[in-house]
Amino acid sequence: MYCALMLLTTVIFSVSAFICAEHQVNTTTVKGEATILFCESDLNNETLTLTWTKDNHTLQPSPRIRIQGQLLWLLNTTLSDGGLYVCLSTNSTFSMESRTLLDVKDGLCPYFENIKLILEEDNFTISCNDEVIPVLGQIMEVQWWKDCKSTGKQGIDFNLYNVSMSDEGNYTCKVIFRYEDINYTASYPFQVTVIKKEPVKKPRVLQPRNKTLHVKPGEELKLECTVFIGIGEETKEETNIYWMINDNFIEAYPELKESLIIETRENVSVFGHSTLSISKVLPEFFGVPFQCTVLNPSGGDMGLVWLSQDDNTIHSWLIIVSLLISVTVVGAVLLIVFKIDLILAYRLHCGKNKTPQEERPYNAYVLYLQCKCPGSSSAEDLALRILPKMLEQQHHLKLFIQGRDTETEVGVTNISDVLSQSKVVVLILPGNDGEENLIPLNQGQNRLEESQLAGLFSDITSSGVPLLLVKVGKMLIIL
Ligand SMILES: *[C@@H]1O[C@H](CO)[C@@H](O)[C@H](O)[C@H]1NC(C)=O
Ligand SMILES: *[C@@H]1O[C@H](CO)[C@@H](O)[C@H](O)[C@H]1NC(C)=O
Ligand SMILES: *[C@@H]1O[C@H](CO)[C@@H](O)[C@H](O)[C@H]1NC(C)=O
Ligand SMILES: *[C@@H]1O[C@H](CO)[C@@H](O)[C@H](O)[C@H]1NC(C)=O
Ligand SMILES: *[C@@H]1O[C@H](CO)[C@@H](O)[C@H](O)[C@H]1NC(C)=O
Ligand SMILES: *[C@@H]1O[C@H](CO)[C@@H](O)[C@H](O)[C@H]1NC(C)=O
Ligand SMILES: *[C@@H]1O[C@H](CO)[C@@H](O)[C@H](O)[C@H]1NC(C)=O
Ligand SMILES: *[C@@H]1O[C@H](CO)[C@@H](O)[C@H](O)[C@H]1NC(C)=O
Ligand SMILES: *[C@@H]1O[C@H](CO)[C@@H](O)[C@H](O)[C@H]1NC(C)=O
Ligand SMILES: *[C@@H]1O[C@H](CO)[C@@H](O)[C@H](O)[C@H]1NC(C)=O
Ligand SMILES: *[C@@H]1O[C@H](CO)[C@@H](O)[C@H](O)[C@H]1NC(C)=O
């Protein structure tokens, strides 16, 4: 800027040659080798004259010192050659100074900062062409040294393939040239620094890896999937995140919809959250994998979700059952022997564990077999007489007794309404062994079709309401 102003001033006032010190370099060379200095000049070179001075003394060309154009050769550098070299370039209007502070050292390899940054696993070529070392005469040989030891490699270009950390070091190219029948050597240093390549991070499904969900058919469901996409915003452009069901695209099912949220966290790690909304669980969704897939050029990954028919109830059932079996066995024995109700026993032992969330008006839903078969009258007796007396009058429990409390017929179809309001189902079977698979619910409906029976059991099962099966006389507990 200062120089530009000077130049401008010079032009305006037509003052004769003005000097601008524009350029300064520090360099190192080694004793005995040839040293080449370059005169920087921005001036139009048509009428350019150059003068070199060293420590204020004008340099004159000699057999040891050669000047050609903007270059100065010190052919056999000695320690006393160290100093400040100034090149003054002048055309008729302007002058420029180019300064070089030269340090001459003993040794074989010069050093000044000239760093080459190379990415690990890249290929790289270091070139020692005539811009780096311009020579007089003829090049005989170009040698490559590393850490000041010969590598044995020759040639203007030095190739590094698949660069690794072990390639780091101080390289020197040595050009041997023959000028006026004498061999000279000029050296130039390069420092190779290898930049460690960050391992490419492959995309990965973080959640789920392989998960099983227990659901009921017809349910609404959302499957969540979290994936790591990669490092850097650009990774998300080339990444696909999608759900498949058993290797089929979800578009085949109108019940399935997916949505995606991309999130960039610290260190530009990019994550994706994909949600698969299932409006209705179809029967064919069970037992096949839902695959959350992430795919980009670095790789791919998949997480699996399996849907399984809700056997949670069965699990909790088993727990309740094992509890109940002991309680009920005792209770039923007491019922028969001492006429103490089993529901109370159940309530006393298990009711405490119940969460208060259950707002069920009926403590029990009592179903009993009513048929023209032996034992059915005792079942009826237990259901209509003993249980109400024991539980309702003495213990103030509220029962829904099939037959008694059904003004209108409660069929298998709306049994679930009562079930949902009951804490426990007590099914009383007659004491005989015959016709157990026939469970008439009321007089008007003496025999149930097998499908209705199955429906009844599946309703009870899916409602999650514990079932006590009581067989009068023998006492039988089935769950
Ligand atoms: C060159 O060396 C001199 C003296 O040692 C120092 O003051 C200057 O900052 C150096 N210049 C550069 C460009 O390194
Ligand atoms: C000297 O160099 C400057 C800068 O390049 C240029 O503008 C000017 O015309 C030159 N003078 C002559 C006489 O060539
Ligand atoms: C060169 O001369 C200038 C003045 O002309 C002086 O300031 C400087 O110290 C001298 N440098 C050397 C190395 O003699
Ligand atoms: C001027 O430039 C030509 C070619 O660009 C070059 O050969 C010549 O040596 C230069 N002259 C000076 C004095 O720098
Ligand atoms: C450089 O000079 C030294 C003495 O100063 C001499 O021994 C040596 O042979 C010379 N080398 C060349 C290449 O001229
Ligand atoms: C490096 O060079 C080798 C051999 O020429 C070539 O196979 C490889 O693809 C190159 N690697 C890169 C990163 O350019
Ligand atoms: C480069 O080197 C690394 C280990 O240093 C190796 O794993 C890789 O396969 C090499 N690549 C080529 C193209 O040789
Ligand atoms: C290169 O040489 C310089 C100066 O001698 C030294 O400080 C540096 O540690 C060297 N680098 C390597 C990689 O050897
Ligand atoms: C100069 O170098 C060449 C090639 O390296 C060699 O054959 C020749 O003998 C050398 N001459 C002298 C005088 O050292
Ligand atoms: C997923 O888990 C199930 C058991 O939970 C196992 O049988 C199956 O091999 C697992 N699949 C994969 C891909 O890990
Ligand atoms: C983020 O980068 C910083 C430093 O670069 C590092 O200390 C930190 O552990 C990184 N965090 C993660 C999550 O990679």
pLDDT reported for residue 335? 53
Which of 7, 94, 95, when mutated, tests ligand 2's pocket best, judged by the most ligand atoms within 8 Å of its CB? Answer: 94
Give the model confidence (pLDDT) of 227-240 as tens digits.
Answer: 999 888 888 888 99
Which of 118, 120, 157, 162, when mutated, tests ligand 6's pocket best, judged by the most ligand atoms within 8 Å of its CB? Answer: 162
Written as one letter, the residue type at 457 is F
CA angle 111, 114, 119 (to 5 degrees): 130
Is there a shared CATH topology between the 114-195 domain and the 213-309 domain? Answer: yes
Q: Which residues line ligand 10 (CB under 6 A)?
A: 210, 212, 304
Which residue's CA is the nearest one to ligand 11's atom 7? 267
How far, in Å, is the centroid of ligand 1 from the Cα of 95? 23
- pLDDT tops 50 at residue 93: yes
What fold, for 114-195?
A: Immunoglobulin-like (2.60.40)
Which residue's CA is the nearest one to ligand 4's atom 1? 45
Nearest Cα to Cα of residue 12 among 4, 20, 22 = 4
Task: Tell me which H or E stretch contains 379.
Answer: helix 376-381
Which residue's CA is the nearest one to ligand 1's atom 2? 26
- How far is the CA of 429 from the CAs of 341, 359, 378, in angstroms? 16, 28, 9
Q: Which ligand 7 atom is at minimum distance from the Cα of 121? A: 1
Q: Which ligand 2 atom is at minimum distance from the Cα of 92? A: 13
How far, in Å, is the centroid of ligand 9 from the Cα of 38? 27
- pLDDT tops 50 at residue 48: yes
- The span from the CA of 295 to the CA of 297, in Å, is 7
Architecture of domain 339-478: 3-Layer(aba) Sandwich (3.40)
Give the list of residues 6+ apart from residue 111 with CB closer than 8 angstroms, or none.
28, 105, 170, 189
- The span from the CA of 448 to the CA of 436, in Å, is 11
pTM tops 0.85: no
Q: In this prediction, what percent of the chain has a pLDDT beyond 70? A: 72
- pLDDT tops 60 at residue 350: no
Is residue 338 exposed (0-12), middle (13-18) or buried (19+ Cβ within 10 Å)?
exposed
What's the mean per-residue pLDDT of the chain?
Answer: 79
How far, in Å, is the centroid of ligand 2 from the Cα of 42? 9
CATH of domain 213-309: 2.60.40.10
Q: Calculate helix-pair angle for 342-350, 312-337, nearest 10 degrees.
A: 130
pLDDT bucket at 296, cuts 50 / 70 / 90: very high
- The span from the CA of 466 to the CA of 314, in Å, is 10
- pLDDT tops 80 at residue 183: yes
Is residue 70 lining ligand 4, measured as CB closer than 6 Å? yes
Quote the strand ranges of 203-330, DSSP E: 204-207, 210-215, 221-231, 240-245, 248-249, 256-264, 269-278, 289-296, 299-309
List the domain boundaries for the chain.
14-105, 114-195, 213-309, 339-478
What fold, for 14-105?
A: Immunoglobulin-like (2.60.40)
